[in-house]
Amino acid sequence: MICEAIRSKPKEIGTRLGTVGEVAYALAPKLVDQLLHAAYRLFPDSPPAAGGEADSPPAGADERPQHPASAQQIALASLLRGVHW
């Protein structure tokens, strides 16, 4: 997308998801804010961000926490694929 923008120099560049979000926010900003808040609340803070103790993983272990994802988290991640995950 960046290479195409450099080559063709369009006036504006964006993804379909971004364009849909922009139009939705122009039409119903409170609804979009509520949806974004619900999506934010779907993913809890990590223990260190929440003020808890950080668990140190054993040497060579994957550093990401091994919490199973809920069906709602998986659905949101697949719907917004490539945006944040």
Q: Is residue 60 part of a domain?
A: no
Question: What's residue 27's pLDDT?
Answer: 97
Name the E strands within 1-85: none
Q: pTM here?
A: 0.56
Q: Is residue 62 part of a domain?
A: no
Question: What's residue 28's pLDDT?
Answer: 96
Where do the H-state alpha helices sit in the chain? 2-8, 16-27, 29-42, 71-79
Question: What's residue 30's pLDDT?
Answer: 97
Q: Is residue 56 part of a domain?
A: no
pLDDT at 79 > cutoff 90: no
Question: What's residue 31's pLDDT?
Answer: 95
Query: How many structural domains are present in the chain?
Result: 1
Domain that holds residue 30: 24-44+68-85
pLDDT tens for each residue of 10-66: 888 888 888 899 999 999 999 999 988 988 888 877 777 777 665 555 555 555 556
Q: Is residue 7 part of a domain?
A: no
